[in-house]
Copies of this chain bind each other. A is one copy, B any other.
Amino acid sequence: MSNTTSKMDVFFNPKTVAIIGASESFRFGYGTTSYLLNSNFKTYPVNIKKDTILGHKAYKSIKDIPDDIDLAIIIIGNEYVLQVIKDCVEKGVKGIIIESAGFAETGKEKYIKLQEEVEKIAKQSKIRMIGPNCIGVTNFHNQFTTSDMDFVHAPKGNIAVVAQSGVLGNIFIDWANSNGIKFSKAITIGNKVDVDEVDLLDYLNEDPETDVIALYLEGTKRGKELKKVLGKMKKPVIILKNGRSEIGSRAVNSHTGSIAGNDKVYEALFKQYPSVFRVDNFYEMFNVAQVFATQPLPKGKNIAIITGSGSLGALACDEIVKQGLKLAQLDENTINKIQSVIPNWVSIRGTIDLGPSMFETFVPSVKAIFQDKNVDCVLFIFSIPRVPLQRMSSYALEGVRAQLNILKKSVEKTNKPCILVCFGSRWTFDFVTEAASHSESDLNIPIMTRINQAIKAFKMMEEYNKSIATKIT
């Protein structure tokens, strides 16, 4: 572990924490304060106006705390931040997270200067700092967080997410968790006076709890270092880079005080590195990351589509062509096996339309499809309307659960990736995720709502597999 890497650990596993601006009223900072004070992480509240915070002794200054402090979290008005950082330096903390906003992102001279002062201290002191204008970090494995994280709904996983913007961190973790996507670490870096995307890629590349990295990037101040670290990544990095447009760049500029840069430069840069995949929006970023995090890499471009709806199958074919992949042409043996169990009027010439198929049809068909040498990936499109599912209730739940288990076992047995795309109301989506959560152990098959994202994920996995193979040979 490099010095940089070990120094970063203080953000994810601090022995002692001070919250400067600890709050017991429902304002920004309350969640962090109440969570950490009741956690196993030794936490000291600092508040200039209070003697106690939520029943714990509060200190007027970090310097008054009778203990060494690993990590200071700053959640106070921008005008007080500079003095408090100086106190932290005196105290000898190892890391600082500045959550306060009101710096370069305002676009105002006064606050840009204030940020420059903070930056200067970071450089001189060599204390690692995250922020300002962020919500800091979450470590889902030891449940340390400096933001408002609800671990009941956020189990640990193997995807790390790095974002600049504060709100986004939690908003998308909410979304992802309700879609079965699980994280190792989440970091929001705000205006980046010190720790930035380069440091974090470096750190996460060595993090044993992280297999895939999702990075939301608004720009970089360290192009050369970014290139270097992207070149040495041993894990897939899924990047969403905004500011493609000039007005978008200006909006970003006023937002985190960073320079969005010329999008074409970034586009060309990302294309150079086999581990880097650029996506178009947040949903795609997390869905693609989830596929990388849970599925084996495909050995080729041939996608079999199992669907109860010919129309959705046709739309999926359009996406396959758009992404330069191929619709799998089933082997004669496979076709014969399927035709021996389905009604003779069902067509399986293109996509495999099993209709609202019964279990006795589904099991042998799916097994044969996965085992077909002409199939590299399987896309399963689930599209049963709510009303018949509700009518069948527990029977339907059992049936779908059994179907999902067959998919899961087939993935394990054949080492071919599978994605489930679910159409219908949120009720249907919940029904399928409910069935998935009751499957034997973890289902571990991504469930999405968009065909194009599933096909894109297969495409990126296929490219990644090729690049790895090239490296080995």
Contacts and interface: CB of A to CB of B under 8 A. Distances in A.
Interface of A: 26, 28, 30-31, 78, 101-102, 105-108, 111, 148-150, 153, 163-165, 167-168, 170-172, 174-175, 177-178, 216, 218, 242-252, 254-256, 260, 281-283, 308-318, 320-322, 327, 343-347, 349-351, 353, 356, 383-388, 391-392, 423-430, 449-452
A350 B170 contact: no
B315 A423 contact: no
Given A386-B150, A391-B31, A426-B178, A248 B315 contact: yes
21 contacts: A148-B387, A150-B387, A167-B309, A167-B311, A167-B383, A168-B312, A170-B386, A171-B384, A175-B425, A178-B427, A242-B315, A244-B321, A245-B322, A246-B321, A247-B317, A248-B318, A252-B310, A252-B314, A255-B314, A255-B353, A426-B429
Given A178-B426, A248-B317, 14 more contacts: A26-B392, A107-B349, A150-B386, A167-B309, A167-B356, A171-B309, A171-B385, A175-B425, A244-B321, A247-B320, A247-B321, A251-B310, A252-B310, A254-B350
Contacts of A391: 26, 30-31
A281 B452 contact: yes
B383 A171 contact: yes
A312 B252 CA distance: 9
Nearest to A349: B254
Nearest to A391: B26
A168 B314 CA distance: 13
Contacts of A172: 423-424
A255 B165 CA distance: 46
A165 B311 contact: yes
